[in-house]
Structure 1
Amino acid sequence: MLPVNGQVTAVVVSYNTADKLRRCLQALQGVPAVVIDNDSQDGSVAMIRTEFPLVQVIANRDNRGFSAANNQGLSLVQTPLTLFINSDAYADPGAIGALAAVFEDAGVVAAGGRLRNPDGSLQESVAKMLTLRGVFLEQTLLEKIFGGFWITRSLGGTVEVPQVMGACLMARTADLKEIGGWDERYFLYCEDTDLCLRLSKLGRIIWVEAAGFEHELGSSSRREPWRGIARYNRGKETFFRIHHGPLASGVCWSLDRMGALLRMAVKPKQFSTWWKVLTIKPD
């Protein structure tokens, strides 16, 4: 098994998650880490410098977004492997080593672990590649019949997959730098889909069931669900514009709005949420 020490550096993007960030860094169990703080106002930077003096910190003066911050961290990594992990994700003992082990196979370019919710239930961590057919099924609610993007529940063991989640993604540092890192045209959502698509041209992406991570989903999205949905839609539309052109992006835009109108009709209790998705810019 590939040893973790000297092989892996963790890159963590932080934004007003001081308590969760503390737990995240503790769970790394000595793996070197770089934290990029996107102008948190909750004392995150001071906490890191006081409690984790060996952790490198980049303190941004504004919120540069997930992709740009990850690239800042990547620029400092000197180990063969880079682990991108959310500040609200916590590695089980041995999980990082289990991910690193699959890179003994030279054909592997990226790997992700098994995510679970705080209550222990399975969290989706593997998806099909983004397609307009998938968006259509998602927005018409037909994915419940024909299947949607998520395929985690059908998996087991160590298997090749189309993509893993950016909440917990390990890749070869050289490959990441070869493809130019994360695409900064994405602020939040679908940047991991984009990254996996580009990495997949260099080799295989692997999901490792034995590598367990607890992941708390974004609290800001829970407070304002419409904002998370709108950002997700924008991320999808950006993905199609970059990889398939403006026509495909326009089709995705239309499907997303059709989906919002449909949900306003069939889920009247969520009318306000979907109305905001249609009428308010998320940023």
Structure 2
Amino acid sequence: MSSIEMPFQGDLVLSVVSHGHGSQVRQLLADLSQVEGGLISRVVLTLNVPEPMLEALSEECFPFVLEVRRNELPLGFGRNHNRALQDVPEGYVCLLNPDVRLEDSQLFYWLAMYAAKPGVGCAYPVQVNELGVMQDSERELPTPTALWRRRVLGKKESRVDWVNAACMVLPREAWVAVGGFDERYFMYCEDVDLCLRLRQAGYSLVRAPVQIVHAGQRASRRRWDHLRWHVASLLRLWRSPAYRWACNALPASGAGAGNIGAP
């Protein structure tokens, strides 16, 4: 452990984007207020749409600095996070969904610890739903064949190539090195692309021994506009240099892929 540069107090900034998640945001901020160790310096909360329920947040007291940003027009997932985390002074950045519940007060300590390991580009927790069932947050490269096996044949992932962005802690160095999210993805696949570019740059993705509760639901299964965005993002991903690199560089089979794995 002596080779690990330990995160220090106030060295982590969190970015949360709300799109009508008012009640969940309030619960998340309450959870964050219970986090131990003083690692969190700031929480940047972006209101992608007007939310009267959250208007008074800036007047409330939290054990971290809360910055509330309000968009005049809704922006994409990646652009919102990129703006929130532009030129940050903190050593570590966290992408956090508003529909996440924290049950471990030392969650970010462990995530930052694993993100601090040499060569790590992203540390992430195990994700479970409200019933405690593990979610499929670790996924295989979404090739047409892999999607067919998953969606049509109902087969589970054969390996782990990327992880979703519901909760990620990255060293600032890695975040800056890959330039954050590719803002050409308005919604969907931006986390796939980010993970692939991190791996292409030589960074690893590591699962920390902690878990979160993620209540996320895939809107692309319920709304046509989201389905259209999902398909458009997949087409963009399949044309990207990162995807072409991944098809050639990642293992074709096995329980785990390349430099992704548990600690």
Aligned with residue 224 of structure 1, among 199, 222, 225 = 222
The amino acid of 2:68's aligned partner reads: V
Matched, 1:96 2:94: no
Contact 2:162 2:192 in 1 (8 A): yes
Matched, 1:11 2:27: no
Aligned with residue 240 of structure 2, among 239, 242, 265 = 242
Q: Name the residue aligned to 2:252.
A: none
**1:173-212 per-position Cα deviation (integer Å, ceiling 9, x unaligned):** 122122111111111111000000111123111112x221
The Cα RMSD (Å) is 2.6
Matched, 1:65 2:76: yes
Aligned with residue 57 of structure 2, among 48, 54, 58 = 48
Task: Map 1:23-172; keep pairs closer than 5 Å.
Answer: 23-28=27-32, 29=35, 31=40, 32-44=42-54, 46-52=55-61, 54-75=65-86, 77-91=88-102, 92-139=104-151, 141-144=152-155, 147-148=156-157, 162-172=161-171
Contact 1:111 1:164 in 2 (8 A): no
Comparing 108-117 with 32-41, which one deviates more in the overlay? 32-41
How far the C-alpha of 1:244 sits from its partner, in A, is 7.4
The unaligned stretches of length 5 or more in structure 1 are: 152-160, 246-283
The unaligned stretches of length 5 or more in structure 2 are: 244-263
The amino acid of 1:60's aligned partner reads: N
Between Structure 1 and Structure 2, which shows a larger proportion of helix residues?
A: 1
**1:60-103 per-position Cα deviation (integer Å, ceiling 9, x unaligned):** 11110101100011115211110100011122321111111113
Distance 2:226 2:215 in 1: 15
Contact 1:4 1:97 in 2 (8 A): no
**1:202-242 per-position Cα deviation (integer Å, ceiling 9, x unaligned):** 3111112x221111114x82993444443322221121122
How many pairs were matched up? 230
- TM-score (normalizing by structure 1): 0.73
Distance 1:189 1:109 in 2: 21
Distance 1:233 1:55 in 2: 35
Contact 2:17 2:77 in 1 (8 A): yes
Distance 1:97 1:213 in 2: 14
Distance 1:27 1:185 in 2: 32
Distance 1:3 1:23 in 2: 26
Matched, 1:21 2:38: no
Secondary structure, counterpart of 1:134 in structure 2: helix
Distance 1:182 1:194 in 2: 8
Comparing 108-117 with 122-131, which one deviates more in the overlay? 122-131
The amino acid of 2:98's aligned partner reads: S
Contact 1:113 1:125 in 2 (8 A): no
CA 1:76/1:25 → structure 2, altered by over 3 Å: closer, same or farther?
farther
How far the C-alpha of 1:42 sits from its partner, in A, is 4.0
Distance 1:132 1:198 in 2: 20
CA 1:125/1:164 → structure 2, altered by over 3 Å: closer, same or farther?
same
| 4+ residue runs over 4 A deviation | none
The amino acid of 1:236's aligned partner reads: L
The percent identity for this pair of structures is: 26
